Structure 1
């Protein structure tokens, strides 16, 4: 991953982190927003990928999320499972560039998660009769709204542009002094020149190959990255003189188990991937005993029942997910596609090539099957094999094509023009897709790797009570709105739910000039 040095103090980067609540019940959703910033709190243009990790008080990882940033920001959520014990948890956010300056360079937010279904509550949580404020609600006259009423809010209209998150949520009756919903960045300094590249154009995946034969070269060896979730994706890079390589993923992969292939006829290599930088968790401070008022038990019970009802209608109320488009690495307009089912009188790949693919022929010499193209428009005689792919796998030995069960071939696509991929020139392209996409080339070495699929962009569920289809569906939402926006010059709308109480409308974020914005207002539902 290292090919140049950069001065951290010239490209300092921080993260700010916003959550929807500091105290949550299992069965509820933790929602959060990220803001990647420069020193002046303006949007950072450097990193395109950010990470969110949740740990418990022992440093055990609960989850890790990856986000491709849009204009330096992202939003995500985590459904809190009933397996989590009551206790304090920490939400950490960072970029790889931040950790390259210092493994302690991350932003954290402290949370309290309460599991009402747990028989033996965490010893650090105690119920007590001592007097503490039981509500964060303001002591002012509030505007009242009815259940399931449409609200259009315009009090926060301004000409500010930037990255902001709008939240409308019932005020937390469980009042634990856990700080603000918004964790401001804590920039650190670093006097050393850094040799790690920032993920400026997309996620970096790096590693090295090692030779099992001392005479083998390490330089200029092709490495292919293949995505099992997108059979038409292939990215190729080559090694330097020390055997190191790296990929830059401008777009995320679709599979959590992608694999790599060494594009070489010599199999006497092994491959090893570099580990991602991780935040260094030093001694997590021991959280003092948290005293909850006795009357909190009723509030916890109410919220637990509400979350159960909401989750029972998950299929109706689930968030909408924007699935990223599966963009093929090879432009389909460059390919001539032949659906095999249209030519059902043939029974073998060889017959199909001979009778249908007029610009393709094959030879068999010394038990070596080889495909050739009739490149009539090319002056240079090309002896290289075509780039050959089957269900996304690179075929190095053309004999492996004969292992494919012909009845399972769905289509064959070709391009007879010379084609560059990575550092290699091929005589053309020859692609086979099977009906079930399950072809495995057992003769080629592959290295599977674990990959965190980034969280897809989502829009939180919002009911529309102008229709009658929801009349019989209960509405126990306590989070009425969670929405990211780049401008505050428009009013926003939402519906109240069936849950009575005091709600807070809040906006957090940063303007394009780096000014921190914090606004809030309250209303009541009866």
Structure 2
């Protein structure tokens, strides 16, 4: 037997060595990620929504990749202040959502930027300049066009020219209100594309400095005095922090840190600090935003814990000198009124929002469960465990009351660490508090009454008490514990596409200026059709198909239709 073992070990060693030698002849090039940003337009009124999409691509091949799993999108004002911020889950290389523009926003130049932790470490971000008008406040003089006699842009020439040259074909050039429009494309393409149909009569023509998706990249200066490196989020969200010794002399390495996101679908994790007291958590579930981080050690009071946020991006100042023709005032007013009416009736045509998959407890499948309503009412929590849950008992250790489990498979639990005690998923290090609670506060008790290996630690079982309304409020009274409101990813959604063949909405006005926004198109061909319905708003509309092919080629197609 010993001889066989030595032969196997020798074979594995030589196989490993051979593999290293064979692979040494090849050089691997690390992937450099780039993020691409698209929006539905570059001109908005407050109260409207900025529709956006991101595509993650290989900076060398320009092909879509799913390397990072999290993208960040921000609305930045001309003072480099972040007004709105979203965290997005990247799926199949893309993400999409929208910002609702608040009604108290100032008129002026803004930027939409997008980045991942990986592109941020390369000091790069995707950027698109936009202009926002707040029609509810006085229009700033600096943005008014001085030549008040100039006329509004006539789109008829553009429409005629695109009718001849465009690869986008429409079923008609002129449509009635609430009529179905069908479009096809005279090309065969695969990749990531957006179909966008928006009214253009009410939009001033802004100076576009760059229409190429792949080159809308800017270099950033990070507000990063501590040289923080943002950890690439290749599997999910990452939250990081560090602990410090209050006295300055206590060891920082190998200290257990617990993260609890309590609630019905709670999340609980344990990690360990490095030599400098740094720690990180990888989160693959996205439920809950109220998180508690705490040092999980006997001498926890000796330490202070803090969470480290990623450094903010300092964008380049917008240089565009925007001058708005005062003759647009009437168009802005009509558009603002239409937008308010649309918002009133939003509930009748709302988008579909998808919730994230619910977390299962980390001990799922190993636990037993007791519902307290199935048993006689007890006066104290201690009595509950004595009379209902004999597998769990309470005794004293080092002058404090602690939970233990009866592990019937071993003679002693000295091999284990303490029992993990949770309330709604929150790690409770001092159980004295809940022993004073009325048992009626709780609905059930889940437990694992044997040694439980979690992360690399072997605990004397697990006990989780669930409250009736998941409303246990943890105490945060020392430096070893901190509560942090986390930025969690926005929920995925599917945008509502009105279909008058199924519902005529006869008594509901349709004042859409945005007729179609389909951000998840992966294939285009002459045999494939796209459909949308016109609204009650007459005028000229621009149809755009924009994106990147699977070979990394940027695509932009345009055409126009008219609604009478």
TM over 0.5: yes
Instruction: Check 1:298–1:410 CA distance in 2 against 1; reply closer, same or farther (3 A cut).
Output: same
Task: Work out whether 1:206 is the aligned partner of 2:240.
Answer: yes
Q: What is the aligned partner in structure 2 of residue 73 from structure 1? A: 94
Q: Report how far residue 183 of structure 1 moved.
A: 4.0
Q: Distance in 2 between matches of 1:165 and 1:253?
A: 29
The corresponding residue for 2:196 is 167
- Cα separation, 1, equivalents of 2:273 and 2:398: 32
Deviations 1:193-222 (A, max 9, x none): x96532211222111101124553311111
CA contact (8 A) 1:419 1:426 kept: yes
CA change 1:85–1:126 in 2 (3 A) is: farther
Alignment map for 1:97-136 (pairs within 5 Å): 97-102=118-123, 105-126=124-145, 128-131=147-150, 134-136=153-155
Mapped partners of 2:303, 2:120: distance in 1: 31
Alignment of 1:100-499 (within 5 A): 100-102=121-123, 105-126=124-145, 128-131=147-150, 134-136=153-155, 138-140=158-160, 143-155=173-185, 158=188, 160-179=189-208, 183-185=213-215, 197-228=231-262, 231-255=265-289, 257-266=290-299, 267-282=301-316, 284-292=317-325, 294-364=326-396, 368-378=400-410, 381=413, 382-442=415-475, 445-468=480-503, 470-483=505-518, 484-489=520-525, 490-499=528-537
Supply the distance in 2 between the matched residues of 1:173 and 1:297 (Cα, whole angstroms): 9
| TM-score, scaled to structure 1 | 0.89
**Structure 1 residues 364, 448: closer, same or farther in 2, change over 3 A?**
closer
User: Do the aligned partners of 2:367 and 2:446 also contact (CA within 8 Å) in 1?
Assistant: yes
Shift of 1:432: 0.3
Corresponding residue to 1:87 among 108, 126, 141: 108
Kindly indicate whether the alpha-carbon contact (under 8 Å) linking 1:230 and 1:254 is maintained by their aligned counterparts in 2.
no
Deviation of 1:341 (Å): 1.5
Question: In the alignment, is the contact (CA less than 8 A) between 1:23 and 1:172 conserved in 2?
Answer: no
Tell me by how many angstroms 1:263 deviates.
0.9
How many correspondences in the alignment?
Answer: 512
Q: If each structure's helix is expressed as a fraction of its own residues, which one has the higher value?
A: 2
Do the aligned partners of residues 486 and 139 (structure 1) sit closer, same or farther apart at CA in structure 2, a change above 3 Å counting? closer
Distance 1:273 1:127, change over 3 A: same
| Range 115-124 or range 469-478, more displaced | 115-124
Checking the alignment, whether the CA contact within 8 Å between 1:100 and 1:277 is kept in structure 2 is no
Task: Give the secondary-structure state (helix, strand or coil) at the position aligned to 1:93.
Answer: strand
Query: What's the CA shift string for 1:231-259, capped at 9, x where partnerless?
Result: 5211211101221111122233421x322
2:79 aligned with 1:58, yes or no?
yes
Give secondary structure in 2 for the equivalent of 1:126. coil
1:223 positional shift: 1.1
What is the CA–CA distance in structure 1 between the aligned matches of 2:438 and 2:391, rounded to whole Å? 23
Instruction: Determine helix, strand or coil for the equivalent of 1:123.
Output: helix
Residue from 20, 25, 31 that aligns with 2:45? 25
Kept after mapping to 2: 8 A contact 1:415/1:430? yes
Q: Counterpart of 1:240 in 2: which secondary structure?
A: coil
Q: Distance in 2 between matches of 1:220 and 1:91?
A: 41
Q: Deviations over 1:392-438 (max 9, x none)?
A: 21112333331333220111001223212233211211100111222
Task: Please state how far the C-alpha of 1:63 moved relative to its aligned partner.
Answer: 0.9
User: Aligned partners of 1:220, 1:152: CA distance in 2, in Å?
Assistant: 63
- Contact kept in structure 1, 2:53 and 2:97, CA below 8 Å: yes
Q: Cα 1:477–1:285, aligned 2, differ >3 Å: closer, same or farther?
A: closer
Deviations 1:35-58 (A, max 9, x none): 111122111332211111111112
Alpha carbons of 1:91 and 1:441: their partners in 2 closer, same or farther (altered >3 Å)?
A: closer
Alpha carbons 1:413, 1:431 under 8 Å: kept: yes
Deviation at 1:331, TM superposition (A): 4.7
More divergent stretch after superposition (336-345 vs 232-241): 336-345
CA distance in 1, matches of 2:67, 2:295: 31
Say which SS state the counterpart of residue 454 (structure 1) adopts. coil
Q: Is the 8 A contact 1:34 1:74 kept in 2?
A: yes
Distance 1:229 1:466, change over 3 A: farther
CA distance in 1, matches of 2:75, 2:334: 26
Quickly say closer, same or farther: Cα 1:120–1:197, change in 2 above 3 A. Answer: closer
Contact 1:17 1:34 in 2 (8 A): yes
C-alpha distance in 1 between matches for 2:379 and 2:203: 71
Note the residue ranges of structure 2 that are not aligned, 5 or more in a row: 1-26, 164-171, 221-227
Quick one: distance in 1 between partners of 2:97 and 2:212?
15
1:106 is paired with a residue of what secondary structure? Answer: strand
1:92-115 per-position Cα deviation (integer Å, ceiling 9, x unaligned):
11112112122xx21211111112
1:6-42 CA distance string (max 9 Å, x none): x998332222111101111122211111111112211
Which has the greater radius of gyration? 2
In structure 1, runs of 5+ residues without a counterpart are: 1-6
